[in-house]
Amino acid sequence: MHLLIVEDEEKIANFLRRGFIEEHFAVDVAKDGEQALYETDINDYDCIILDILLPKVDGITVCRKIRAKSTTTSILMLTAKDAVEDKITGLDAGADDYVTKPFSFGELSARVRALIRRGRKADPVVLTFDTLSLNPATKTAQRNGKTIILTSREYALLEYFMRNPNMVLSKTQIMEHVWDYNYEGMSNIVETYVKYLRKKIKTKDTDMELIHTMRGSGYILKQG
């Protein structure tokens, strides 16, 4: 899942980024309202955590502009302004939820997950494909009833495939949803992790290959 954090306080932004990466999100950070609008123009996000007091363009204006373009992206306002009138202004601007500082990361994370679930009402509790299953609530995967031990990044990659079965996913799409634009590591990181994941989900020699390479296009989760 792809998350945008719009926060000008570097300490808070870094704290949130680390926390949500540990929760298997791909996370981008914008330090002002102008950058936030640019990022939402070029990326699709499952949820946006948006501070109100921002440089260049304030959070309320950012929220209104994002909502004018998208009715599906979840927006959670995060701010030190806790007056009822401020909350009403944020919600009326198009925010789906409102959390005031200081906050508990556990509560904030739970609210983000709830907003994303609300936007994906058609999604089953457990994702299944062929003999493979993935439970987003417990962050566990199984094939033929056998538990598959995955790293945080492998889990995020598998979840992205299972939420988009029978669709060709380009390396760029995978990078944006499983890593983020700050990644500066190996250029072949997608190929490397697809290889790891293929090996892990093939729990026995007779298992059918599920993740296929589409040369020049990317990868696809499909039968046969």
Residue 91 has pLDDT above 60, yes or no: yes
| Tokens 């701010």 -> residue | 79
Res 222: pLDDT: 93
Per-position b or e across 120-147, b if 16+ CB within 10 A of its CB: eeeeeeebebbbbbbebeeeebbbeeee
Task: Name the strand (E) or helix (H) holding 69.
Answer: helix 59-69
User: Between 3.30.230.10, 1.10.10.10, 3.20.20.140, 3.90.1150.10, what CATH number should domain 127-221 receive?
Assistant: 1.10.10.10
Domain ranges of the chain: 2-118, 127-221
Q: Average pLDDT, stretch 111-118?
A: 86
Give the least confident one: 6-15, 65-74, 176-185.
176-185
Rg (C-alpha) for the chain, rounded Å, is 19
Percent of the chain at pLDDT > 70 equals: 93
Long-range contacts at 118-123 (CB < 8 A, ≥ 24 apart)? 118/74, 119/46, 119/72, 119/73, 119/74, 123/163
Residue 122 has pLDDT above 50, yes or no: no
User: Between 3.30.1490.20, 3.40.50.1820, 3.30.420.40, 3.40.50.2300, what CATH number should domain 2-118 receive?
Assistant: 3.40.50.2300
Q: What is the model's pTM?
A: 0.62
Residue 203 has pLDDT above 80, yes or no: no
Strand partners, 28: 4
Q: Average pLDDT, stretch 191-197?
A: 93
Nearest to 133 by CA among 125, 143, 124: 143
Q: What is the pLDDT of residues 39-81, one digit of tens each?
A: 999 888 989 999 999 999 999 999 999 988 877 789 999 888 7
Structure tokens at 184: 């500066």
